[in-house]
């Protein structure tokens, strides 16, 4: 039954990632992968919140844990999209943007996890 929860969460997370990508493209433009960057940073922050909350503040059933962490956030944040965006930037000849994208994504994603941990610990 757990696989159903993972799949359902993945469908929701992937749909949200798509909507963020479309919205960010319309708002900011499609020349840079803002949607993927936003999803990765926000998703990492939420993963930090989730990990800390489930470890210290909440009693969560394993199926809900699988739905949220593996399914929802796994579908929302994906480094396959990150990798494809990086490759596209490189293939377009935007080497500086590609390097900036990798550095920004990794730095902010890691900061997002620690911010999420700190956020829950401060509650």
Q: Return the structure tokens found at 118.
A: 């700190």
Through-space distance between the first and last CA atoms of the chain, rounded to whole angstroms:
33
CA–CA separation, 122 and 62 (whole Å): 25
CA–CA separation, 71 and 40 (whole Å): 14
In degrees rounded to 5, what are phi and psi of residue 58? Answer: -125, 150
Q: Write the CB contacts of 85 (distance below 8 Å, at least 6 apart in sequence).
A: 33, 36, 101
Q: Is 104 annotated as a binding residue?
A: no
Show binding-site residues for Na(+). 74, 77
Q: Which residues are annotated as a binding site?
A: 74, 77
């Amino acid at each position: 039954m757990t696989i159903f929860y993972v799949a359902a969460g993945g469908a929701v997370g992937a749909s949200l990632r798509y909507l963020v990508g479309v919205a960010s493209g319309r708002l900011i433009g499609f020349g840079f992968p803002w949607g993927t960057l936003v999803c990765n940073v926000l998703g990492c922050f939420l993963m930090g919140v989730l990990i800390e909350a489930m470890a210290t503040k909440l009693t969560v059933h394993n199926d809900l844990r699988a739905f949220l962490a593996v399914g929802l956030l796994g579908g929302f944040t994906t480094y396959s999209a990150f990798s494809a965006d990086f490759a596209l930037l490189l293939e377009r000849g935007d080497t500086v943007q590609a390097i900036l994208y990798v550095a920004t994504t990794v730095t902010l994603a890691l900061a997002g996890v620690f911010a999420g941990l700190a956020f829950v610990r401060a509650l």
